[in-house]
Amino acid sequence: MKANYKQYILNFKQASGTSRGVLKTKETWFIKLADEDKVGIGECGLFRGLSIDDRTDYETKLQWVCDNIHIGLEKLVNELIEFPSIQFGLEQAFKSLNSETSFELFPSAFTNGEAVIPINGLIWMGSESFMNQQIKDKIEAGFDCIKMKIGAIDFQTELSLLKSIRKEFSASDIELRVDANGAFAPHEALEKLKRLAELDLHSIEQPIKQGQIEEMTRLCETTPLPIALDEELIGVFSVTKKENLLQTIQPQYVILKPSLVGGYNGSQEWINASENLGIGWWITSALESNIGLNAIAQWTYTLDSKMPQGLGTGSLFTNNFDSPLAVRNGDLNYDKEEDWKFNLDI
C-alpha cells in the first residue's frame, strides 16, 4: 500500500464572519491510499486557529503517516492522538479504500437516495441587512431550523434580528439556535442568556470561551436557555477526561465536529459519555470540502438522530468538488443521478 497527501485551499464565495474573525479561505489536506487497483480518499479538515492540531509540525506528521502507512489504521490512530483531523482523514481513507466505491463509505437509505438528513440553515455574521437577507433566504429555501452566529455585532441588533423571526414564526414553526463561539464575557453571559431565552430559542452554543470550567459549570446550572458545548470539547482526548468534563459541567447538549474531536471513534466516545449522563448531542461539519462533508453525513445518518444536524452544504466555496450532495427544503440529500468529480492530483 502507498499513501500520499496534498494541501488544498478552499475559497469562500463571500467572506464569512464569526466572532473569531472573517473567513476568506479554508485550508484542508487530503490523504490518498493506493493498494493495487483500489484507491481511498480522506480529508484532514485542519481548521487554523481552532483545531488543537494547528501546529508547525502538522505536515511533518502527515508525511510520517504516509511513510508508515503499512502499520495499519489502528496503530496509526493511536499515534495520532494529538492530531484529530489526521485521525479522521485516515479513518475516511481506509473506509474509502475498503468500500465498493471510493465515496460510498456507509451504504444506507441515505446513499440510495431514499432518505434525507434534516439540517440547520446557517446564518453568518455581518451587517444587519446581510444577516436579515440570509434569514429570509433560508426560510424561503424551506429550512425549519436556523442557526445564527452571534457575538460580533451589537447584541441589541442581534436580538432584533431574532425577534423579527419570532414575530412571523413561532418556535413550532422555526427552531432557532444561536452560536456565540465564546463571545460573551462570564460576568455578562447569564443576563444575555435571559434575554435570548425570551425568544423561545432551542439552544446556544459555547456562550463563553472554552477552558473556563467553573464559570461554564455555574452557567449550565442556572441558565434559562439550554447550553451546547462545542469548542469546550477540543483537545480532550481520553475517555476518562471526556466523562469527567461532562460530569463536571453538566451541559444540556454537546456538538461534535469529527474533524476536531478525533473522527468517528472520538465522536462516538463523546456520544457514549453524553448518553450515559442524559446529555443531548448532534453532529456538525467544520467547513470541510464535499469529501469530508460526505464522510460525516453518511456516518451521521447511521446514528439515527432525529434532530436537525449542523451539516454544511458545500455551497460556500467557489472551488469545491462536484458531488451528489444537495440541499432541498432544509434537508441534505444524496442524489444518485449526480456524479463525483474529485479531480485533485495527489
Distance of alpha carbon 59 from alpha carbon 55, whole angstroms: 9
Distance of alpha carbon 65 from alpha carbon 333, whole angstroms: 33
Distance of alpha carbon 42 from alpha carbon 46, whole angstroms: 12
Question: Which candidate in 26, 138, 147, 257 is catalytic?
Answer: 257
Distances from the Cα of 331 to the Cαs of 120, 222, 296, 311, 325, in angstroms? 8, 34, 15, 10, 10
Please give the grid coordinates belonging to residue 208. Answer: 463563553
Cell 435571559 belongs to: 194
Question: Which candidate in 61, 149, 192, 242 is catalytic?
Answer: 149
What DSSP string runs through 175-229? EEEEE-TTBS-HHHHHHHHHHHHTT--SEEE-SB-TT-HHHHHHHHHH-SS-EEE
**Cα 272 versus chain centre, distance:** 18
278: Cβ–Cβ under 8 A, 6 or more apart, which residues? Answer: none
Helix (H), strand (E) at residue 343 = none
Distances from the Cα of 88 to the Cαs of 67, 110, 145, 264, in angstroms? 18, 21, 28, 7
> Is 209 marked active-site?
no
> Is 149 marked active-site?
yes
Catalytic residues: 149, 257
